[in-house]
């Protein structure tokens, strides 16, 4: 097994994010070290289960850990209260108690729902994240934001519940279809626009050999932000760059447009609007579009500004007569701006 990079996240009790190859085979040892007398249920989806579930179960059983599993139908459309209830019922049927834990094995949908279930089962039990997509490695597995979608909008029901450990096994990306790989790179590009520097340089070069470095850079940045603002009261809101339009696109499409692709368009839109409105240095959109195109990500949507505005009014970031948006001033410098819905509409209109 190659060298493992360990990134500490000093939030709550604190936890580690480990990035490397072959980490699936270390799950049993990791659980035994941190939860020696615990039992667990692995939560995964119908896409990931045939690939990795038995391997993780074998690792746990070899370590002497009693483990069960819960498999739900894959896809954003199943990120809902019904699926959450199913996970909770499986935990209860397996007779998990407060010293036991859940393990999320999969992408962002799996991690979100498992974290939510762990946060409310018996008023809170530990959980471990094992992300298997670029998207979940660079973004959703770190920081403790766990939620499900409601008919009215995305991620409207949820909790803050930090994981006890995150294991990013780079080998799992070998089975990731190209469109899902690209989907995750949208969040990496978003982070590159926030940070600039080396990450921006890496994201301008479409080389999969750089993916481990890209993932590590994204996690280091997000870990720092989460440590300074766990509850998203200030700085952490910057991580929503591209998400106002992105969430609206997802909702307008009935969640048929994947999250990363929607965020890619949202990031491109706000960059174009910032340039055209004189809110940026005038060259943000050029660099953003180069990064997105390098990873085969879209720059435009067919939904109108009216469609997007209406969907944005039910966004969890909306309040009263407006919303807080993230404006890229330059690559490496973004700021929060409170907008009325009329102002948001104008940015949508010129950014399309």
Residue 192 pLDDT class (50, 70, 90 cuts): very high
What digits encode the pLDDT tens for the residues 208-238? 889 999 999 999 999 999 999 999 999 999 9
Q: Would residue 223 count as lying in a domain?
A: no
Separate counts of helices (H) and strands (E) for the chain: 13, 12
Q: Based on the domain organization, do 152 and 191 belong to the same domain? A: no
Q: Which listed residue (90, 187, 217, 250) is catalytic?
A: 187
The CATH number that applies at residue 309 is 1.20.1090.10
Q: Which listed residue (240, 251, 261, 272) is catalytic?
A: 240
Looking at residue 319, its pLDDT comes to 80
Continuous segment of H or E residues that includes residue 67: strand 67-72
Q: Would residue 212 count as lying in a domain?
A: no
Q: Would residue 227 count as lying in a domain?
A: no
Catalytic annotation present for 76: no
Q: Which residues pair with 324 in a beta bridge?
A: 338
How wide is the angle at C-alpha 266 spanned by C-alphas 261 and 267, nearest 5°?
100
Catalytic annotation present for 243: yes
C-alpha distances out from residue 208 to 150, 261, 264, 273, 280, Å: 35, 18, 18, 30, 31
| pLDDT above 70 (res 79) | yes
Asked whether 269 and 348 are in contact (CB, 8 A), the reply is yes
Considering just the CA atoms, what is the radius of gyration of the chain in Å? 20
Q: Based on the domain organization, do 272 and 162 belong to the same domain? A: no
Q: Would residue 213 count as lying in a domain?
A: no
CB-CB neighbours of 285 under 10 Å = 22
Q: Which listed residue (212, 236, 251, 316) is catalytic?
A: 236
Look at the block and give the residue holding tokens 């699936």: 24
| pLDDT above 60 (res 346) | yes
Looking at residue 318, its pLDDT comes to 87
Residue 2 pLDDT class (50, 70, 90 cuts): low
**Spatial separation of the C-alpha atoms in residues 186 and 11, rounded to whole Å:** 26
Q: What average pLDDT score do residues 49-58 get?
A: 98
Q: What average pLDDT score do residues 193-214 get?
A: 95
Alpha helices in 204-328, H assignment, sequence order: 211-228, 243-252, 259-276, 284-294, 305-312
Catalytic annotation present for 82: no
Q: Would residue 257 count as lying in a domain?
A: yes
| pLDDT above 60 (res 1) | no
Q: Based on the domain organization, do 52 and 119 belong to the same domain? A: yes
CB-CB neighbours of 4 under 10 Å = 16
DSSP symbol at 232: -
Name the residue among 260, 248, 287 with its Cα closest to residue 271: 287
Q: Based on the domain organization, do 197 and 308 belong to the same domain? A: yes
Looking at residue 268, its pLDDT comes to 98
DSSP symbol at 301: -
What digits encode the pLDDT tens for the residues 85-105? 999 999 999 999 999 999 999
Catalytic annotation present for 300: no
Catalytic annotation present for 259: yes
Q: Determine the structural domain holding residue 64 and report its residue range.
A: 5-175
C-alpha distances out from residue 302 to 257, 288, 306, 308, Å: 11, 20, 12, 10
Q: Based on the domain organization, do 195 and 254 belong to the same domain? A: yes
**Spatial separation of the C-alpha atoms in residues 342 and 336, rounded to whole Å:** 17
- What percentage of the chain has pLDDT greater than the value 90? 94
What digits encode the pLDDT tens for the residues 280-327? 999 999 999 999 999 999 999 999 999 999 999 988 888 878 999 999
Q: Based on the domain organization, do 35 and 171 belong to the same domain? A: yes
Q: Based on the domain organization, do 98 and 199 belong to the same domain? A: no
Q: Based on the domain organization, do 114 and 143 belong to the same domain? A: yes
- pTM value is 0.94
The CATH number that applies at residue 69 is 3.40.50.1970
Asked whether 318 and 312 are in contact (CB, 8 A), the reply is yes
Last residue of a domain, one of 127, 157, 175: 175
Last residue of a domain, one of 128, 155, 175: 175
CB-CB neighbours of 183 under 10 Å = 25
Looking at residue 314, its pLDDT comes to 86
Q: Would residue 240 count as lying in a domain?
A: yes
Q: Which listed residue (39, 154, 243, 251) is catalytic?
A: 243
Catalytic annotation present for 228: no
SS (H, E, C) 173-226: HHHCCHHHHHHHHHHHHHHHHHHCHHHHHHHCCCCHHHHHHHHHHHHHHHHHHH
Sequence-separated (6 or more) residues with CB below 8 Å from residue 82: none
Q: What average pLDDT score do residues 147-164 get?
A: 93
Catalytic annotation present for 333: no
**Spatial separation of the C-alpha atoms in residues 267 and 326, rounded to whole Å:** 9
Q: Based on the domain organization, do 125 and 185 belong to the same domain? A: no
Helix 178-195 and helix 259-276, axial crossing angle in degrees, nearest 10: 40
DSSP symbol at 72: E
Q: Which listed residue (145, 161, 190, 220) is catalytic?
A: 145
**For all residues of the chain together, what is the average pLDDT?**
96
Please give the tally of structural domains in the chain: 2
Q: Would residue 216 count as lying in a domain?
A: no
Last residue of a domain, one of 160, 175, 190: 175
Catalytic annotation present for 261: no
Q: Would residue 168 count as lying in a domain?
A: yes
Q: Based on the domain organization, do 55 and 138 belong to the same domain? A: yes
Q: Which listed residue (39, 222, 251, 316) is catalytic?
A: 222
Q: Based on the domain organization, do 194 and 160 belong to the same domain? A: no
Sequence-separated (6 or more) residues with CB below 8 Å from residue 168: 17, 18, 19, 20, 23, 131, 137, 141, 215, 219
In this structure, are strands 127-131 and 165-169 parallel, antiparallel, or unpaired?
A: parallel
Q: Which listed residue (76, 90, 217, 232) is catalytic?
A: 232
In this structure, are strands 15-20 and 165-169 parallel, antiparallel, or unpaired?
A: parallel
Q: Based on the domain organization, do 41 and 165 belong to the same domain? A: yes
Catalytic annotation present for 240: yes
Sequence-separated (6 or more) residues with CB below 8 Å from residue 177: none
């Amino acid at each position: 097994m190659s060298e493992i990079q360990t990134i500490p996240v000093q939030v709550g009790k604190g936890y580690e994010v480990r990035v490397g190859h072959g980490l699936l085979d270390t799950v049993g040892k990791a659980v035994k070290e941190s939860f020696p007398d615990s039992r667990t249920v692995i939560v995964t989806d119908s896409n990931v289960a045939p690939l990795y579930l038995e391997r993780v179960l074998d690792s746990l059983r070899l370590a002497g850990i009693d483990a069960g599993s819960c498999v739900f139908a894959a896809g954003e459309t199943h990120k809902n209260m019904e699926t959450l209830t199913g996970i909770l019922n499986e935990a209860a049927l397996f007779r998990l108690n407060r010293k036991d834990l859940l393990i999320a094995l999969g992408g962002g949908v799996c991690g979100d729902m498992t974290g939510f279930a762990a946060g409310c089962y018996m008023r809170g039990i530990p959980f471990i994240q094992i992300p298997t997509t670029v998207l979940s490695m660079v973004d959703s597995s770190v920081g403790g934001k766990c939620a499900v979608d409601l008919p009215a909008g995305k991620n409207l029901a949820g909790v803050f519940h930090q994981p006890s450990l995150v294991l990013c096994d780079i080998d799992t990306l070998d089975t990731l279809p190209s469109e899902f790989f690209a989907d995750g790179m949208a969040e990496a590009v978003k982070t590159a626009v926030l940070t600039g520097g080396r990450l921006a340089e890496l994201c301008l070069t479409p080389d999969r050999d750089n993916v481990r470095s890209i993932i590590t850079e994204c996690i280091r940045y997000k870990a720092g932000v989460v440590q300074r603002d766990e509850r998203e009261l200030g700085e952490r809101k910057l991580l929503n760059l591209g998400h106002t339009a992105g969430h609206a696109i997802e909702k307008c499409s009935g969640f048929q447009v994947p999250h990363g692709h929607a965020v890619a368009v949202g990031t491109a839109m706000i960059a174009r609007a910032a340039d055209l409105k004189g809110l940026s240095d005038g060259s943000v959109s050029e660099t953003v579009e180069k990064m997105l195109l390098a990873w085969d990500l879209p720059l435009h949507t067919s939904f109108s500004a009216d469609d997007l505005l209406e969907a944005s009014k039910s966004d969890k970031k909306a309040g009263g007569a407006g919303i807080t948006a993230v404006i890229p001033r330059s690559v490496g410098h973004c700021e929060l701006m409170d907008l009325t819905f009329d102002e948001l509409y104008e940015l949508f209109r010129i950014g399309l």
